[in-house]
Structure 1
Amino acid sequence: MEKKIIIYGVGKFAEYVGYAFENDSDYKVVAYCIEKEFLKGNSFCNKPLICFEKLNTEFPPINFSLFIAVGNNKIRERLFNRATNLGYNLPSYISSKSSHWENLKTGKNVFVDEGCVLQPFINISDNTILFTSQIGHHTQIGKHSLISGSKTGGNVKIGDHCYLGLNASIKQNLTIAANTIIGMGCIIEQDILISSVYTHKGTTKRNLNPDQISRLFLK
């Protein structure tokens, strides 16, 4: 029997998730959904777009699965809990184009894209998203987290509701507390034991003419 799935969301991420499921899984995307207050129109990506509040009537959980394609961790958690209470199966997507081992463990509604490199003995908990990240062996990633373009050493423990930004790096054998935000370009070399926010001081604009610099490096 053909597996059928609904994608929650109407943004670029939802479009990406729908494309991934359609082209790299056993699931057929039959519709998209969004909460009533955000509903505009009746189609998205050439599929029906329906009100989330009517989902279990029009696409009952006995026949359809659901994936929540929302980047915000808190919103995704709320929707995950609502969908679970309604009885929906929330499958995970692990790209066949990613590098991972057979002993990779994932919970529900996990998304691992094609750019990820995952070493052995990794556990990714429910409702977590990984974009283009390198995750070291024996790493555990908590629920409702988002890791985007980041890198960890081996045996790292990342709590629930965490966010790791582009080019963030975490040294091996560290613990990252729940609700921690590690911004783009940060390097973490010690445990984070309470929820914290880390940011890199950023790139400095130089008072130089680009032509002056290009003569030095582009000969």
Structure 2
Amino acid sequence: MNKKILLIGGGGHCKSVLDSLLDLNEYDDIGIIDSMGNIGSTVLGIPILGSDKDLPSLYKAGYRHGFVTVGSVGNPALRIKLFNTLCEMGFIIPNIVDASAKVSKHTQIGKGVFIGKQAIVNAGAVIGNGAIINSGAIIEHDCEIGEFVHIAPGTVLCGGVKVGKHSHIGSNAAVKQQVCIGSNCLIGMGSVVTKDIGDNITAYGNPCREVEKL
């Protein structure tokens, strides 16, 4: 039986995921779900087959795997909603790991996780459902990444860092070993985080400082 997958969301993040997926060559058939106005167009040559309302019929047609390819910066609410919809409908939600990424066998990774080009995930790391570990990010040993966290390109988390659910760590940020960042946080790009950050906080700078409560 053909192995078929639907990508939910046809924007920029979809291109990153799709590029990795095509290189992996694990699926016989790939389709994309997006807004109704985009049905019939393509992303990297892959067709947009329908919108959210077409998920039940496509599931019956044999698309049993699904993956959320909507991106997020600081607000993963739509990603979470789509992920839960796929779960409720019975879709299998895989992880997609780019062939160039280096992921230790001694990790715990949930489902619906994307690990991009040249990313590194070291031994003892734990990554929750729906997380994005983007291009060139480094997740060092024993880090704990909560569900639906987005670690943006080039970010470095040193050993034992903890990031709470739904947080976004901006591009090229660096987080000192053993530091804890709370849930629902937004850490600005290029920040150097040397101290713990509480929940629901926007913080940025070098050194990183809490700027406002979300």
Instruction: Check conservation: 1:104, 1:120, Cα contact below 8 A.
Output: yes
Structure 2 vs 1, CA of residues 11 and 48 (structure 1 numbering), >3 Å: closer, same or farther? closer
> Within the alignment, does 1:190 sit opposite 2:195 as a pair?
yes
Question: What is residue 114 of structure 1 aligned with on the other side?
Answer: 117
> Within the alignment, does 1:31 sit opposite 2:31 as a pair?
yes
- Please give the residue correspondences for 1:190-209 in structure 2 after superposition, counting only pairs within 5 Å: 190-200=195-205
TM-score (norm 1): 0.84
Instruction: Report the Cα distance in structure 2 between the residues aligned to 1:7 and 1:29, rounded to whole angstroms.
Output: 11
- Please give the residue correspondences for 1:84-99 in structure 2 after superposition, counting only pairs within 5 Å: 84-99=87-102
Question: What is residue 151 of structure 1 aligned with on the other side?
Answer: 156
Further displaced range: 23-32 or 75-84: 23-32
- Please give the residue correspondences for 1:155-194 in structure 2 after superposition, counting only pairs within 5 Å: 155-194=160-199
| Superposition CA RMSD, Å | 1.8
The AA in structure 1 aligned to 2:70 is V
| CA positional deviation for 1:127 | 0.4
| CA positional deviation for 1:125 | 0.5
Instruction: Report the Cα distance in structure 2 between the residues aligned to 1:61 and 1:182, rounded to whole angstroms.
Output: 42
Given candidates 134, 137, 140, the residue that maps to 2:141 is 137
Structure 2 vs 1, CA of residues 140 and 29 (structure 1 numbering), >3 Å: closer, same or farther? farther
Structure 2 vs 1, CA of residues 172 and 23 (structure 1 numbering), >3 Å: closer, same or farther? same
Instruction: Report the Cα distance in structure 2 between the residues aligned to 1:90 and 1:34, rounded to whole angstroms.
Output: 18
| CA positional deviation for 1:29 | 4.1
| CA positional deviation for 1:22 | 1.9
Q: Please identify runs of 4+ aligned residues in structure 1 that moved more than 4 A.
A: none
Unaligned runs of 5+ in 2: 207-214
The alignment-based identity, stated in percent, is 25
The AA in structure 2 aligned to 1:123 is V
| CA positional deviation for 1:190 | 1.1
Structure 2 vs 1, CA of residues 175 and 89 (structure 1 numbering), >3 Å: closer, same or farther? same
Unaligned runs of 5+ in 1: 202-219
Further displaced range: 162-171 or 49-58: 49-58
Q: Indicate the structure whose relative CO is greater, using CA pairs within 8 Å and at least 6 residues apart.
A: 2
Size of the alignment, in residue pairs? 199
Instruction: Check conservation: 1:74, 1:144, Cα contact below 8 A.
Output: no
- Please give the residue correspondences for 1:3-22 in structure 2 after superposition, counting only pairs within 5 Å: 3-22=3-22
The AA in structure 1 aligned to 2:173 is A
Question: What is residue 79 of structure 1 aligned with on the other side?
Answer: 82
Question: What is residue 206 of structure 1 aligned with on the other side?
Answer: none
Secondary structure in structure 2 of the residue aligned to 1:59: helix
| CA positional deviation for 1:2 | 3.7
Instruction: Check conservation: 1:181, 1:197, Cα contact below 8 A.
Output: yes
Question: What is residue 216 of structure 1 aligned with on the other side?
Answer: none
Instruction: Check conservation: 2:39, 2:48, Cα contact below 8 A.
Output: no
| CA positional deviation for 1:21 | 1.2
The AA in structure 2 aligned to 1:145 is V
TM-score (norm 2): 0.86
